[in-house]
Amino acid sequence: MSKPLAPSSPLQAWQVLLGGVCALVLTIGLARFAYTPLLPQMQRQAGLGVADGGLLAAINYGGYMSGALLAAWIESPAWRQRLYSAALPLALLITALMGWSSSFTVWAVSRYLGGLCGAAGMLLGSGLVQGWLMRAGRRPELGLYFIGLGLGIVVSALGAMGMTGLDLGWASQWQGFALIGLVFLLPAWRWRPPVPPMAPKSSAGDSSSRRWMLLLLTAYFCAGWGFVINATFTVAIVEKQPLLAGQGPWAWLLVGLAATPAVFVWDRVARRTGDVGALLTAFGLQIIGVLLPALHGGLAAALLGALLYGATFIGIVSLTLALVGRRSPANPGKAMARLTLSYGAAQISAPALTGRMVELSGGFHQALWLTALVLAFGMLCLMALPRHARQDGA
């Protein structure tokens, strides 16, 4: 049954990784991230209200969390590969769908399906790629794979700026993104990892393994808090600078440019310091990036904070998912999905609390200090991991 899904000839490591990078650009960069730079145009030209714009973003995230739940439930390797394969052309279809209609219902369906596609690329795709690398005797690192996240941000930012410069309307820009996506669909489809063999189920694990997982889940929750607060406030903080007023997309581009090469660098750091050492370094740098705008209101602090955010959040995601995937070789995507649910819980709770803090205080300082404390607690959880990680030879 699974044979038609497998490539007809043996794959090389560079093909699997490049196909995965292109898949992330499709399922994350276009199906999810393109909404960020196009939202202002949809508000001006399509009559999308602020509240409805936020609702569409929430629907998109609901689709992503639904996909994470599905990924945490699926055991069949064949079905994981089928759903991943289906998400690739679907990402193009729902991107084009945004420009084919001005109906809020159609937009909502598109955003929900876009969230599902994002989960397929992040969780099912990364699990399939890492599993293939392990079976092929390659380093099971995901840094090169997650270049697709930063590249997706860059493609969405540059695409929106370029098409706006051509005076294209919001609908034409969505359709333009779908055409751009064709370039990434071909290698992503051709170089999909084949269906992995069914591995025997592992035992439930002892209390040490359960404690290890609980500590990592908690640390990743803290990372999710840092991610969503940075994502929420980075553009707003930069927009407060007189020289950059109205240049929000450039701040988004800055984050993507920092994130794209960072994943490769974090793999190198992990080879020298170990996964936990690299994660501690990334958390520490993100704390500095969070506090810079709180300690100094200047332009340089805001831009350096955005750069540190882009360079660290991607490394934390890549290193954590790779670490848990190596500990769960039978079904890496399922273990990654459990972590993603923890990450997502922070992304739901953090904006509500910190948004209220910003309203009450009239500024970002308190929210940024709270975020730094949450990230510091995540570091404490990571510091308790090494002795448990060594038991598995991670």
**Does residue 185 sit in the same domain as residue 222?**
no
Is residue 197 in some structural domain? no
From 190, 219, 244, give the residue that closes a domain.
190
Q: How many domains does the chain have?
A: 2
**Does residue 272 sit in the same domain as residue 386?**
yes
Q: φ, ψ for residue 356 (rounded to 5)? A: -65, -40
Q: What is the pLDDT of residues 137-154, one digit of tens each?
A: 787 667 788 888 888 888
- CATH number at 356 reads 1.20.1250.20
Is residue 183 in some structural domain? yes
CA 350/CA 208 separation, integer angstroms: 30
* Domain limits for position 276: 207-391
Is residue 196 in some structural domain? no
User: Both tokens of residue 43?
Assistant: 């508000």
Please, are residues 311 and 262 in contact by the beta-carbon 8 Å criterion? yes
Please, are residues 16 and 133 in contact by the beta-carbon 8 Å criterion? yes
**Does residue 234 sit in the same domain as residue 377?**
yes
- The torsion defined by the Cα of 314, 318, 319 and 324, in degrees rounded to 10, comes to 140
CA 329/CA 226 separation, integer angstroms: 28
pLDDT along the chain (394 residues), means of 10: 48 90 93 83 83 81 88 85 95 93 91 92 87 80 80 86 85 93 95 77 58 91 85 63 61 77 86 91 93 78 83 89 80 81 81 71 78 95 70 41
From 190, 218, 250, give the residue that closes a domain.
190
pLDDT of residue 106: 93
**Does residue 153 sit in the same domain as residue 275?**
no
Please classify residue 78 by burial: count the beta carbons closer than 10 Å to its beta carbon, then call 0-12 exposed, 13-18 middle and 19+ buried. Answer: middle
Q: What is the pLDDT of residues 76-106, one digit of tens each?
A: 888 989 999 999 999 999 999 999 988 999 9
**What's the pTM?**
0.77
pLDDT of residue 359: 67
